[in-house]
Structure 1
Amino acid sequence: MILKLSQNRNSNPSRHLHIWFTCKLYRVRLIYRFWATLSTIKRSIRRTRRLD
């Protein structure tokens, strides 16, 4: 990724960096959302198990 960035320095590095940063941010948000959903499911399963 860094190698590609140094190669594209002559074109528009700020635009390339912005796209890369947005992609990374989106990926982090997606992982966080997935983890939050997973923990919520685990909590609900635990609650159901306690009731039975």
Structure 2
Amino acid sequence: MRLNLRYHCPRTEESGTHSIQTNLVRPYELRCAHCESLMATDAAAPAIRLLT
């Protein structure tokens, strides 16, 4: 599964997009494409929970 993300960098005032897959090695660090600042850390694969 692929997850598409958008982010806004407070340092450069630029927006960007990124996508990650569920089979990546964790933890994964998402960095700004403009200045390489850390935007997010993906520590676990996305999951879907059923609410019953």
For normalisation by structure 1, the TM-score amounts to: 0.21
* More contact order relative to length (CA 8 Å, sep ≥ 6): 2
Structure whose residues are more often strand by fraction: 2
Structure whose residues are more often helix by fraction: 1
